[in-house]
């Protein structure tokens, strides 16, 4: 039996309708921006395996750091214990995070990072005997698949079976060009008419919505409105963090600082599942008390796993090299060139770029749903051509590992151009 046959016997894949989906591709090895399947077919990983892998697959530098940590201290519980990799990653993050961030809390993935932030926002007011129960979030947001994260997410595909079972969320429009004032007004109204604890947002780029982009000034204004009303702000940088937008964090473009930041995905360079939620001193202080009930009663078994911390430290080392910063600039310049070329194409509605993120919207006769027929046609075409891209409806985006070569990048562009002709 082949690997894929054995797979279909036992395995249940994410976001997959097994009755209608094709068999998955069995990948046997990977290096840099390339993947190889069991038949030795080569693929360019143009989405960094769901946005986690900026420095390339099977990276030796991170692997060595992991091995060293595994053979020194692979894991120890974080309740009542601490260790050097956790302290070091905290110190490193303090150097690069917005200055008001003072405390870091570990968990395992993007959804749990969000879960922790939302729970902290709600309990912050509970601890102050001023209970607030509503969270504000953007339309078409994506914050993960656990319950509070799902509640904050606005893409109905992921959440429709659970409607009516969520914490209270009010949704406001994203301040894309021309819609800024509508968004500001909606936020003011949401705060006036509800008992709002926090506002969660994907800063500057909404990943799962199809790389929807908006300006830093608009986000700054929204955060300012929250500050005036003492509503806590949560920047979900799970996708945008660690260089994707051209700066270390998307929030580096924004003049107002958030109260909390969620990190995961590229945190460990795509090696070990790990996430971090960061907080201001003010939030930490609302939990600091003689009363044990005011503590943040949240934790995961693998909290602050030393091996994950070692991978994260090695990843930040790589991110900060001159070479990697130049790679980010090189890819950005290349995307901007491609954007200029492609946006004039009669079948293209619009194209956009921020940092290493590029997206193009393709014209379509009918309303394209998230996993609709155009999407499937495009996806299959890309796979056949040996390029891993996962379109969202009629939107094709690229989010390459920073080490992707110019030649590989050109092949991705050409394949997208061919796909636009094909549909």
Ligand X SMILES: *Cc1c(COP(=O)(O)O)cnc(C)c1O
**Residue 45 engages ligand X in binding (rule: CB under 6 A):** no
Contact 315, 266 (CB under 8 A): yes
Site string for ligand X, 255-274 (x = CB under 6 A): ---------x----------
Measured CA distances, 201 to 135, 205, 259 (Å): 11, 9, 12
- Minimum CB distance to ligand X smaller for 313 or for 399: 399
| Residue count, binding to ligand X (CB under 6 A) | 14
DSSP 392-412: BTTEEEE---TT--HHHHHHH
Nearest approach, Cβ of residue 240 and ligand X (Å): 7
Helix (H, G, I), strand (E, B) or coil at 259: coil
CA atoms within 13 A on the CB side of 296: 26
Interface with ligand X, residue 110, by CB under 6 A: yes
Q: Does 202 sit near ligand X (CB under 6 A)?
A: yes
Closest CA to 119 of 147, 99, 94, 144: 147
Q: Which is nearer to ligand X, 118 or 387 (CB)?
A: 118
Which bin fits 245, alpha (ψ -120 to 50), beta or left (φ > 0)?
A: alpha
Using the minimum distance from each CB to ligand X, give the nearer residue, 115 or 368: 115
Separation of alpha carbons 188 and 186, rounded Å: 5
**Touching ligand X, residues 137-176 (CB under 6 A):** 142-144
Query: Nearest CA to 222 among 271, 195, 193, 185?
Result: 185
Q: How far is the CB of 401 from ligand X (least distance, A)?
A: 16
Residue with Cβ nearer ligand X (141 or 190):
141
- Interaction of residue 238 with ligand X, rule CB under 6 A: yes
Q: Which stretch binds ligand X (CB under 6 A): 90-98, 104-112, 189-197, 212-220?
A: 104-112
Q: Which of 399, 409, 381, 395 is nearest to 348 (CA)?
A: 395
User: At closest approach, how far in Å is the CB of 137 from ligand X?
Assistant: 11
Sole residue written with tokens 């430290």:
313
**Distance in Å, CB of 366 to ligand X, minimum:** 27
By the rule CB under 6 A, 111 interacts with ligand X: yes
Burial per residue of 173-210, b for 16 or more beta-carbon CB atoms within 10 angstroms, e otherwise = bbbeeeebeebbebbeebbeebebbbbbbbbbbbbbbb
Q: Confirm or reject binding of residue 115 to ligand X (CB under 6 A).
A: no
With contacts defined by CB under 6 A, name the span among 70-78, 160-168, 232-240, 393-401 that binds ligand X.
232-240
Q: Which range, of 130-138, 202-210, 243-251, 323-331, touches ligand X by CB under 6 A?
A: 202-210
Please report whether residue 109 would count as binding ligand X according to CB under 6 A. yes
Residue 94 beta carbon to ligand X: minimum distance, rounded to whole angstroms: 22
C-beta closer to ligand X: residue 267 or 283? 267
Spatial contact of 398 and 47, defined as CB atoms under 8 Å apart: yes
Which CB, 15 or 297, lies closer to ligand X? 15
Nearest to 102 by CA among 285, 239, 305, 263: 285
Do the Cβ atoms of 99 and 278 come closer than 8 Å? no
Contact status, residue 35 vs residue 42, Cβ threshold 8 Å:
yes
- Copy the structure tokens of residue 218: 């608009």
| Selection from 48, 19, 17, 18 nearest residue 33 by Cα | 48
Query: Residue 263 CB, nearest distance to ligand X (Å)?
Result: 10
* 51, 53, 56, 58 alpha-carbon torsion, rounded to 10°: -140
The answer to the question of residue 54 lying near ligand X (CB under 6 A) is no
CB of 384 to ligand X, least distance (A): 27
Q: Verify binding: residue 239, ligand X, rule CB under 6 A.
A: yes
Give the β-pairing of 387-388 and 42-45: parallel
Closest residue (Cβ) to ligand X?
110
How far apart are CB 264 and ligand X at their closest, in Å? Answer: 5
Stretch of residues binding ligand X (CB under 6 A), selected from 223-231, 234-242, 307-315, 342-350: 234-242
CB of 160 to ligand X, least distance (A): 18
Shortest spacing between CB 144 and ligand X, in angstroms: 4
Among 85, 154, 207, 308, binds ligand X (CB under 6 A): 207
Q: How far is the CB of 151 from ligand X (least distance, A)?
A: 13
Which residues of the chain form contacts with ligand X (CB under 6 A)? 109-111, 114, 142-144, 202, 207-208, 236, 238-239, 264
């Amino acid at each position: 039996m082949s690997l894929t046959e054995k797979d279909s016997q036992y395995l249940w894949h994410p976001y997959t309708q097994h009755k209608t989906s094709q068999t998955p591709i069995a990948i046997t090895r990977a290096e840099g921006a390339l993947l190889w399947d069991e038949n030795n077919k080569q693929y360019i990983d143009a989405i960094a395996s769901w946005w986690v892998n900026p420095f390339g697959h099977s990276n030796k530098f991170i692997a060595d750091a992991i091995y060293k940590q595994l053979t020194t201290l692979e894991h120890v519980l974080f309740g009542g214990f601490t260790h050097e990799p956790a302290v070091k990653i905290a110190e490193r993050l303090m150097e690069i995070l917005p200055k008001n961030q003072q405390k870091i809390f570990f968990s395992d993935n993007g959804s749990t990072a969000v879960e922790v932030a939302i729970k902290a926002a709600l309990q912050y007011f509970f601890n102050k005997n001023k209970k607030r129960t509503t969270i504000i979030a953007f339309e078409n947001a994506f914050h993960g698949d656990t319950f509070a994260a799902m509640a904050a997410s606005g893409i109905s595909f992921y959440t429709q079976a659970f409607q009516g079972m969520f914490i209270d969320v009010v949704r406001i429009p994203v301040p894309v060009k021309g819609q800024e004032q509508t968004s500001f007004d909606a936020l003011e109204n949401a705060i006036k008419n509800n008992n709002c604890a926090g506002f969660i947002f994907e800063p500057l780029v909404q990943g799962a919505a199809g790389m929807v982009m908006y300006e830093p000034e608009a986000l700054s204004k929204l955060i300012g409105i929250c500050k005036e009303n003492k509503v806590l702000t949560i920047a979900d940088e799970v996708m945008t963090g660690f260089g994707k937008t051209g700066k270390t964090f998307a929030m580096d473009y924004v003049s107002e600082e958030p109260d909390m930041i969620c990190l995961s995905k590229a945190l460990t360079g795509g090696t070990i599942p790990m996430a971090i939620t960061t907080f201001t001193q003010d939030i930490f202080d609302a939990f600091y008390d003689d009363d044990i009930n005011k503590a943040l009663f949240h934790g995961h078994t693998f909290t602050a796993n030393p091996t994950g911390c070692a991978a994260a430290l090695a990843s930040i080392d790589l991110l900060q090299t001159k070479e990697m910063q130049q790679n980010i600039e090189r890819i950005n310049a290349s995307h901007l060139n491609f954007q200029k070329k492609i946006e004039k194409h009669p079948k293209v509605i619009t194209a956009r770029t921020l940092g290493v993120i590029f997206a193009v919207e393709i014209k379509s006769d009918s309303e394209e749903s998230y996993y609709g027929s155009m999407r499937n046609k495009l996806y299959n075409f890309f796979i056949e051509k040996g390029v891993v891209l996962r379109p969202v409806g009629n939107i094709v985006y690229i989010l390459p590992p920073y080490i992707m070569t110019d030649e590989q990048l050109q092949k991705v562009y050409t394949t997208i151009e061919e796909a636009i002709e094909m549909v």
